[in-house]
Structure 1
Amino acid sequence: MTQPSVQLYSVRDAVDADIDAAIDRVSQIGYTQVEPYAFHKRVADYRRAFATSGVTAPSGHAPVIDSVQPEAIFDAAAELGIGFVIDPFIPTERWQQADDVHRLADRVSALAEQARERGLRFGYHNHQWEFANQIDGRSAFELFAERLDPRVPLEIDTYWATVGGADTPAVLRSLGERVQALHVKDGQVTGDIASVLPSSEDALVVPERLKAAYENQAPAGQGDVDIISILRAAPHALRVVEFDSYKGDVFEGITESLAWLAANDAQEAV
Structure 2
Amino acid sequence: MPKPLGVQLYTVRDHMKTGRDEVLRRIAEIGYGAVEAYDPTDDPKGFRQVVDDLGLTVAATHAYALLSEEPDAVFDAIATVGTDLVIIPGGIAHEEFTTADGIARTADLLNGFAEQAAGHGMRLGYHNHWWEIEPKVGGVHALEALAARLAPGVFLEVDTYWAAVGGADVPALLGRLGDRVLALHVKDGPGVREEPHVAVGDGVMPVPDILAAAPDAWRIVELDTCATDVVDALAASHAYLSGLGRG
TM-score norm. by structure 1 comes to 0.86
Identical-pair percentage: 42
Are 2:77 and 1:80 equivalent residues in the alignment?
A: no
Deviation at 1:64, TM superposition (A): 5.0
What residue is the counterpart of 1:223 in the other structure?
203
Structure 2 residues not aligned, in runs of 5+:
none
What residue is the counterpart of 2:227 in the other structure?
247
* 8 Å CA contact retained: 1:231, 1:265: no
What residue is the counterpart of 2:43 in the other structure?
42
What residue is the counterpart of 1:198 in the other structure?
none
| Alpha-carbon distance between aligned partners in 1 of 2:134 and 2:70, rounded to the nearest angstrom | 31
Name which of structure 1's ranges 21-30 and 110-119 shifts more when overlaid on structure 2.
110-119
What residue is the counterpart of 1:126 in the other structure?
128
| Alpha-carbon distance between aligned partners in 2 of 1:5 and 1:147, rounded to the nearest angstrom | 29
* 8 Å CA contact retained: 1:65, 1:107: no
Deviation at 1:107, TM superposition (A): 1.3
Which structure 2 residues correspond to residues 97-246 of structure 1 after superposition, within 5 A?
Answer: 97-190=99-192, 193=193, 210=194, 213=195, 215=196, 217-246=197-226
* 8 Å CA contact retained: 2:144, 2:177: no
* 8 Å CA contact retained: 2:186, 2:200: yes
Amino acid aligned to 2:118: R
| Alpha-carbon distance between aligned partners in 2 of 1:68 and 1:101, rounded to the nearest angstrom | 23
Deviation at 1:98, TM superposition (A): 1.8
Amino acid aligned to 1:246: C
Deviation at 1:65, TM superposition (A): 5.2
Q: Deviations over 1:196-241 (max 9, x none)?
A: xxxxxxxxxxxxxx3xx1x2x1211211111111100111100000
* 8 Å CA contact retained: 1:35, 1:58: yes
Are 2:28 and 1:27 equivalent residues in the alignment?
A: yes
Deviation at 1:109, TM superposition (A): 1.3
| Alpha-carbon distance between aligned partners in 2 of 1:153 and 1:20, rounded to the nearest angstrom | 30
| Alpha-carbon distance between aligned partners in 2 of 1:20 and 1:168, rounded to the nearest angstrom | 35
| Alpha-carbon distance between aligned partners in 2 of 1:41 and 1:266, rounded to the nearest angstrom | 33
What residue is the counterpart of 1:63 in the other structure?
64
Are 2:44 and 1:10 equivalent residues in the alignment?
A: no
What residue is the counterpart of 2:96 in the other structure?
94
Name which of structure 1's ranges 3-12 and 105-114 shifts more when overlaid on structure 2.
105-114
Amino acid aligned to 1:180: L
Name which of structure 1's ranges 228-237 and 32-41 shifts more when overlaid on structure 2.
32-41
* 8 Å CA contact retained: 1:126, 1:160: yes
Deviation at 1:18, TM superposition (A): 1.4
- Aligned residues between the structures: 245
What residue is the counterpart of 1:206 in the other structure?
none
What residue is the counterpart of 1:259 in the other structure?
239
* 8 Å CA contact retained: 2:185, 2:222: yes
Please state whether the residue corresponding to 1:220 is helix, strand or coil.
coil
Q: Deviations over 1:87-116 (max 9, x none)?
A: 111342332222122111111112112212
Deviation at 1:136, TM superposition (A): 4.7
Name which of structure 1's ranges 8-17 and 113-122 shifts more when overlaid on structure 2.
113-122
Deviation at 1:68, TM superposition (A): 4.5
Amino acid aligned to 1:266: R
| Alpha-carbon distance between aligned partners in 1 of 2:69 and 2:18, rounded to the nearest angstrom | 29
| Alpha-carbon distance between aligned partners in 1 of 2:53 and 2:69, rounded to the nearest angstrom | 32
* 8 Å CA contact retained: 1:183, 1:239: yes
| Alpha-carbon distance between aligned partners in 1 of 2:146 and 2:169, rounded to the nearest angstrom | 17
Please state whether the residue corresponding to 2:7 is helix, strand or coil.
strand
Amino acid aligned to 2:159: D
